[in-house]
Amino acid sequence: MTLNPALPLPAGVRTAAARTARRRAALQWVAVHSLAIAAALFFLLPFVFVLLTSVMSDRQALTSELWPTSWHWENYAQVWRTPGFLTWWRNSLLYAGLGTLLTVVSSLPVAYALAKFRFRGRRLALMAVVSMMMLPPQVTVIPMYLFWAKQLHLTGSLWPLLVPMAFGDAFSIFLLRQFLLTVPNEYLEAARIDGCGDVRTLLRVVLPMARPAIAAVALFQFFYCWNDYFGPQIYASENPGAWTLSYGLESFKGAHHTDWNLTMAATLLVMAPVIILFFFAQKAFIEGVTLTGVKG
């Protein structure tokens, strides 16, 4: 039983023991919230410093001053006008948007089969999914690169990144399956008795129920594509017209060698979409993270 110091105790319980308990609870409140504020500073101050530097004048950005003497919001416009920046932005949206769509469409039926169909080798298939999920991308990258470069001549574009997503993503399959396990079989039975085929059951019964999990998977995949650096570095680096923001940002730093203000403005512009997306879909996101881990 915890005592909330803000609430008055009912008369008659104000014994010495209750007073000590109350004082302890108050002390704990102070300790916990002091720690929380310290932690919040650790997590938020980097954003604040980055923002403050991003609006400094070129000259001030070369000093170690923390607070801008004048506010140069036009730095953002300048970043936006940098040659290539818009192309990278468009490529990132394309990669993340289309990649997410393809992943969800191709992963859902697989996850459904793994969660609800009984067949020989199901456990094995599941182990294969988890192994694929845990595979470092560098392990298979050399033959994959040779395949895309020498057989299909498609490097320097986003195709080598997008096409694999039409064939199911292990992490998305795993996460969707974990969720679909919780869908009661009675619903599927009922749909079958009503004459629904498997595809119709999936689309009409399972899909609406799985909406939170699908939202979480879509968000994760969007973030994955948006953040991906290794993929574009391997497959798109030879053609700046195919770069994404995550990859282009680095070369932006190269071109604006000492301009920390512009680099930090560009950095915030790359962070902004995912953070905005998070505020819109916070609940789905947190549910998704929980789903990955809590099955002990």
Site for another protein, residues 68 to 97, rule: CB under 8 A: none
Provide the Cα torsion 215, 134, 229, 221; round to 10°.
-10
Q: Which is nearer to another protein, 208 or 293 (CB)?
A: 293
- If binding is defined by CB under 8 A, does position 59 make contact with another protein? no
CB nearer another protein, residue 11 or residue 70: 70
CB of 109 to another protein, least distance (A): 4
What Rg do the C-alpha atoms of the chain give, in angstroms?
26
Residue 169 corresponds to which tokens in the numbers above? Answer: 């993503």
Tokens of 85: 């920046």
Q: Which of 8, 119, 151, 195: binder of another protein (CB under 8 A)?
A: 119
100 binds another protein per the rule CB under 8 A: no
Total residues at interface with another protein (CB under 8 A):
102
**Strand runs labelled E in the chain:** none
- Kindly write out the interface string for residues 3-32 of this chain, putting x where it contacts another protein by CB under 8 A and - elsewhere: -x-----------------------xx--x
Q: Scan residues 200-259 and list those touching another protein (CB under 8 A).
A: 223, 226-227, 229-230, 233-234, 237-238, 240, 243, 245-247, 249-251, 253-255, 257
With the C-alpha atoms ordered 215, 220, 224, 226, is the resulting torsion angle positive or negative?
positive
Binding residues for another protein restricted to 175-204, rule: CB under 8 A: 181, 198
From candidates 18, 26, 94, 109, binder to another protein by CB under 8 A: 109
Residues in the chain: 296
Cα 66 to chain centroid, rounded: 30
- Gap between the Cα atoms of 296 and 178, Å rounded: 12
Contact region with another protein (CB under 8 A), list: 69-77, 145-153, 182-190, 209-217: 145-153
Strand, coil or helix: what is 152? coil
Q: Interior CA angle at 261 toward 260 and 263, to 5°?
A: 60
